[in-house]
């Protein structure tokens, strides 16, 4: 009977690990899709700003406040992407070197770029 109890424990433990891994992969995919959506929105805003600047060049008075508003929106979207990428890095166990900014994978004690001690 002990054999079957241990087997049952191993199977349920494996199922839990598989479920956790699947959840993590789904969350990573959702975050990547969100980044793609935001990048598409950024491109549209950049095009709009370009059109406003060109209209201004042609002599049509474009309120500078409108351009500033769109630039502030771009800044907010870039910050949102940085936040999502930070969350993705955290999920993957990636950190960054405080000296050179290079990627340091989880468990490594030194930066591969500059040799700085990470932990």
- Tens digits of per-residue pLDDT, 74-115? 999 999 999 999 999 888 888 888 888 888 887 788 888 888
pLDDT of 8 over the 80 cut: no
Phi/psi at 38 (nearest 5 deg)?
-65, -40
- What range does the domain containing 55 cover? 16-94
Query: For 7-16, 30-39, 72-81, which range has the lowest pLDDT when averaged over its residues?
Result: 7-16
> Is residue 83 one of the residues assigned to a domain?
yes
Q: Does residue 5 belong to any structural domain of this protein?
A: no
Residue 105 domain flag: no
- Asked if residue 103 belongs to a domain, the reply is no
Number of domain units in the chain = 1
Q: Which helix (H) or strand (E) holds 96?
A: strand 94-96
On whether residue 6 sits in a domain, the answer given is no
Residue 51 maps to a domain: yes
* Residues 90 and 24: beta-carbon distance below 8 Å: no
41 within 8 A of 77, measured Cβ to Cβ: yes
Q: Would you say residue 110 lies in a domain? A: no
Q: What is the pTM of this model?
A: 0.72
Do the domain assignments include residue 119? no
């Amino acid at each position: 009977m002990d054999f079957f109890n241990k087997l049952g424990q191993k199977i349920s433990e494996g199922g839990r690990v598989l479920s956790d891994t699947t959840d993590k992969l789904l969350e990573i995919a959702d975050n990547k899709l969100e980044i793609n959506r935001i990048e598409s929105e950024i491109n549209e805003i950049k095009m709009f700003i370009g059109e406003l600047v060109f209209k201004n060049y042609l002599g049509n008075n474009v309120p500078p406040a409108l351009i500033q508003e769109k630039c502030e929106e771009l800044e907010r979207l870039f910050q949102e992407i940085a936040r999502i990428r930070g969350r993705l890095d955290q999920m993957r166990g990636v950190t960054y070197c405080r000296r050179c900014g290079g990627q340091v994978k989880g468990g490594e004690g030194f930066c591969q770029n500059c040799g700085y001690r990470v932990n």
